[in-house]
Structure formats: structure tokens, C-alpha cells
Amino acid sequence: MRSYRHRTLIWGCILLAATLSTHICAQTVVDERVLLNDPDQLLEISREGGKAVLVTSIADLESRHVRESPANVTIITARQIQAAGARTLYEALQMVPGLSFGRDADDVIGVGIHGNWAEEGKCLFMLNGSQLNENDFGTYAIGDRIPISNVDRIEVIMGPGTVIHGSYAALGVVNIVTRNADQGTGARANVQTGFSENDFTRTTATVSGSHRLDRDREISYMTSYTRGRRSNALRLLPDSTLLNFADSTAVQASTFLFNYRWKNFKASMTYLEETFRVSYAAYSVQFRDVIFGLGCKKRLSQKLDLTWSVNHADQLPWYYVNTGEPDRLGRNTNNRRTSATGSFGFKPAKWFSSRIGIMGYTQRSTFYERSENSTFRKNDERAIGMNDGAAFAEVAVFGKPGMLIAGCRLEANNLAGEFFAPRFAYTKSIGNLHVKALWGRGFRTPTIMNLNYGPDNRTLSVEYVTTTEGEIGYSIGKTATLTANGYQTRSTDPIVHTYSDSTGGNYMNGNAVGTHGLDLRLSWETKRTTVLASYGFNQPLNAMAPPEAELPDSSSNSVTGLPEQRGSLVIAFDVNPSFTLRANANYRGEVWSHRAAGSLNNEPSLFAWPAELIINAGLTWRPKASMRLAVDIGCRNITDTQRTILGPVRTDTTPFALSGREYTLGITYKFIQ
């Protein structure tokens, strides 16, 4: 009976969105200047649009300035990405305070948020609002699938986003937004490559563009191909073996993205694929996504609006290739998910607004192998389905005292149960000063593979994350902003992965875990100068640590695999229209992690990895002040510091080493209409 109710809710949600006719989508007013072909005019519009990126709807589906957004929101702009010389998502996210990186199994790189490991289903990654996390484990492997050269901005929530975005957003949200015609029409080609340890690292070629077909229609597209190595580092292993990462970290990635807009109706198609060699083993891992999306936002009246979207994703999640091992091949699956969401926003008065919506999905995961071992323990079959339905609501009250928001989400899942998450937010702007007081709860539901590799009784409890935050910020004139955010995060019944030689890898509910800390961010931008500084500090709450992240000793101030402190500094200066100088530094504090001692067959023991300070610099040259051609040369890791990405989980015997000093070259040519 429960399964029937779930299916009814899910398909009702999908049919609601699918049957909405696109002719109800309201016509948008287009600034005629954007249709002009003059490069200088387009540049001026882009500069004006640079102010608009501080408005976001990621926190509550309402367009608000980040100062008033009911969450700890950081926006990384295209200008800041260029100032940092970032080539990948990993390098761009270094500018977010409180966000760190760790190594999961099979050299997969994931994120930590405020000192909490967020890899499997606790941080939602999106591309233009469409989910990127794979649905078997809930992970998003940070790599080369999304070229940063075509990114307009990256929106990041450091805190629970479950009420609006669902269970993958228990600790945070990252939304990557690509360029469209609002940033100028035309096409561009970009090539980037690197050289380290007497060999090339990786090379990426990208072609992207956006065009207005007429006043109501536009298209944007992007295609890219990456090939090379994830690292050229040399490392001496505990058993005195020299490991050359250039021989064992080959990577290949392909991407295709197409977006179409007619008035307020949007359609998209995304293809992402990445395959990389695992550095310590003789096999590779592949991630592949094919995503189709439809969506529309219509203003029904001055007081009422309707927003809906439908997405379908066909994924190869954590797929093993280039191996003949029956155990690994037997774990390969295909996952298909169809999801839909719809919401109504109602604002009857200036002092009050509300939004109510529904969201649902149905997914099916299937083992590729037809064998006795390739079955789900839940039903002893090759395939299993998961159905989920949710309802959410929020109200906001405005006035001289500030803005107060209250919201909640109720969700039911046919395999995992029912869950509830509330949140409250208060924001106030007084001249150049703004303050926020935030309290929210998120939940992380067990995924299909969590349940499959879970306890023998095949049950896992939902993980609840409760976060309390306070933020204060000050705008210094029109060019600089300083923000400080203090937080405390607690996770109850965290879903963790444990490993033993006798039972292998298993999921279980661990003991309560939590951290508290502080994020600082300074942004200063003028017509010729960009400065961005960030610093994040966190410590575990007393006597709280999950099994795979125990404190190494009584004096330690961080959990294993993730640093207590992270910081970054970005400086760029336009010397003249032809030359831009840039430099940036990234700091990661001491990290404790497990590694094998003496012999790779020995039991791993805790080891303190020293702090790292990585300094990068570069120069961008535009011949004859050209608006079309730009040549960027740079040097990353100038001091040739040994860099490592460490694992919060005890899965591998040696950390993943990144390249030392690397010389980079990038060439961009713009075909402006």
C-alpha cells in the first residue's frame, strides 16, 4: 500500500509538470543592447551584468542579493576564476572558505564541508540547476568533466539545503552556471595544457558559444575534450618503491552541453564522461551522465508565479573498466532516474511571501553482470527501484526589523522511510552592514548501494544534520565586502563506510559527529584590480567523531583526512588593456591520515602530513589590446612543494600526490558576432 502511494505521488508530480503547456511561459524583456554586435558595447554590458551575479535564487528559489539570501552563500564569479588562473573545478573551489578536499576509494576526489566529509550524498552538485550526483552512492567525483573556461559563476551554500534541494544537500550545495547570451553572444575556442616533471600533464580543448535567434529565443552550447594525466608526481612509498604517478593516472574526459530558451521555457541536454586510471591498481573508473531537462517559470499574476522542471538522467555510476576482475565487474550498474518538481510562489503584500511545492523521483538501478553475486540483497534480483516523494513550504515576513523565513520539507521513500526537515532564517541589512541568524536541519537518506552494502538486517537509519550559523558582513564602499560566518554542525546517525579484511566494505550508522568554526572572506574589485581572500577554521566538537575519522590524539584539533585550516589569496591587476598580472596562494593546514608503515602489507597507522602553501602566478596577454585573442601563461606551485590529497577513510595505503611545479599555457579566441 505504501509503495502504491509513493508511485501515485511521484507520477502525479511528473504529470503535473509534463502537462504544463509551454505557451503559458511569459515573455521576457530583452535589453536591445545585448543584440548588438559591437564588442565594446558587449563588454560594457558584461561589466554591468557583473553586478547582477550577486543575486541568486539557490537558497530559496527567490531572487535575492547574497546579503539577504537565507543561507551562507558564496558566489565565485568568472572574473575571480580568471584572476586565480583556475582551470578545473577543484582549483576554482579553493576560493571557498570552509571547503576542503579528500580522497575517496579509487582515487575519487570529494569535498569536506566545515571539517565534515561530504562525499557520498551530503553535498549536492548541480550544473545549471540539474543534479550531477550519481544515484547509486550519491557521489560527485570532482574531475575534468566541466571545463571552467565556460563557467559564468559558481554558487555555493555552506550549510543545509535540504528543504529546497532534497537529501543530497544535507551539508551543502554547489551550482555551476555556464555562460548564456546574457553575457554576450558569439562563440569562443579555448585550449589549455600543462607541463611538469619533463612531461605534459593534461590538455583540454573547448568550444562554446551563445546566440540569440530572435528576441524570444536563444541557444548556448559547449563541447570539450580532455586527455592526459591527473598527476606527474614522483613519490617514494613506505616499502622504498618509487611510484611514478605519470604512469598510472591517465585521464580522458568528454563533455557536450546544449541549452535552448524560448521566452521563459528552457530545455537542456548534457553529456558528461570521464575515465581515469587508479594510481595504485591495474584498472580504471568511469563516470558517465546523460541528462535531459525541461523547465519554466511563469508569472501567473502580479502576486502568483509558477516554477516547474522535469529531468531524466541515465548514469554509469562508479563503473569499473580495463579490468578482468570478476568482483569489480560484478559491481557495475546502470542507474536511470526521472525527477520532477513544481512550486507556486505567492506574494499578496510587500511584507509577506510564501512558496509551496512538491518534488518526486523514480529511479531504477540494474547490475550489468548476470550472475548470482550481481543481485541486490533487498530483493535478490538484478534490478531494484527506488521511489521518493516530497512536499516543501516556506513563508517569509519582511519589515523594518528584517526578514524572517520559516520552512520545512516532508519526504517519503519506499526503501528508506519518511523524513522531516525544518529551517529558520533571519536576515537584516542596515546600510552597508548585514547580519544573518540561521538554523536548519538537513537529512541524508540511504542510497540504493548504502542499503545494499549495509548491515545484515538491510536497514540504515537516516542521517540528520543540524547547523546553527551566524553571519555578519560589511560593504566597504562599492568595491569591497568583508564577511564572517560562525557555525556549529552536528550529524546524528551519520552513514559511514567501514572496511575490514574479513567483511570488506560496509555501510553503517556511526556515532554522532560535529564541528564548529569560522569562515572569513574579503572581496575587493575595481575596474583594473581583483583581490579575493578567504580563510576557514574548524574543530571537532568535544568527543564526537565517526569510526573512520577518529581523533589521532588528545591534542589534535581536526579529524583525519581533512585540515583544521584552509586559506586562499587571489590578486590580479590589469596593467593596461594588453596585459594582466595575477598571483594566488592556497594554504592547507596539517592533516592526519592513515598510511602503511614500512611495508604496504602492514596495518595502516596514523601519520601527520605537514601544512602546504602553494603559490601560483601568471600573465595574460591580449595582442594589441584585442578583445578576441588572449594568451595566458603561468606557473603553478612555484616552490615545487609536495602536494597530496589525503583520505578521510581507511581505504588506501598511500595518498594521491599532485604534480609539483607546473608550467601552463592557455589560448582563447572569441568569435564575437
**Which pLDDT value is given to residue 55?**
84
**Which pLDDT value is given to residue 171?**
96
Q: Which fold has domain 2-672?
A: Maltoporin; Chain A (2.40.170)
Q: How confident is the model at residue 4 (pLDDT cuts 50, 70, 90)?
A: very low
Strand bridging mode 662-672 / 186-196: antiparallel
Cα angle for residues 223, 93, 161 (degrees, 5° grid): 95
Enter the C-alpha cell of residue 359: 518534488
Enter the C-alpha cell of residue 657: 600526490
131-181 confidence digits (pLDDT tens) = 999 999 999 999 999 989 899 999 999 999 999 999 999 999 999 999 988
Residue 343 CB coordination number (10 Å): 21
9-65 confidence digits (pLDDT tens) = 333 433 333 333 333 333 333 333 333 333 333 333 334 444 445 788 888 888 888
Outline where 292-418 has alpha helix (H).
Answer: 326-329
Do residues 416 and 451 touch, judged by C-beta distance below 8 A? yes
Q: Which of 7-21, 196-210, 337-351, 605-619 has the lowest mean pLDDT?
A: 7-21
Is the pLDDT higher at 646 or at 673? 646
**Which pLDDT value is given to residue 21?**
31
So where are the chain's domains?
2-672
Q: What percent of the chain has pLDDT over 90?
A: 68
179-232 confidence digits (pLDDT tens) = 988 877 899 999 999 999 999 999 999 999 999 999 999 999 999 999 999 999
Q: How confident is the model at residue 640 (pLDDT cuts 50, 70, 90)?
A: very high
Q: How confident is the model at residue 502 (pLDDT cuts 50, 70, 90)?
A: low
**Residue 567 neighbours by CB under 8 Å, 6+ apart:** 97, 533, 534, 535, 536, 586, 587
Mean pLDDT of the chain: 86
**Which pLDDT value is given to residue 37?**
35
pTM of the complete model = 0.90
Would you say how long the chain is, in residues?
A: 673
Do residues 627 and 43 touch, judged by C-beta distance below 8 A? yes
257-298 confidence digits (pLDDT tens) = 999 999 999 999 999 999 999 988 889 999 999 999 999 999
**Which pLDDT value is given to residue 7?**
42
**Overall average pLDDT of the 415-420 stretch:** 93
Strand bridging mode 250-262 / 242-244: unpaired
530-544 confidence digits (pLDDT tens) = 999 999 999 888 755
Q: Which of 19-23, 113-117, 353-357, 521-525 has the lowest mean pLDDT?
A: 19-23
- Residue of 466, 468, 474, 465 whose CA lies nearest to 486: 468
Do residues 112 and 96 touch, judged by C-beta distance below 8 A? no
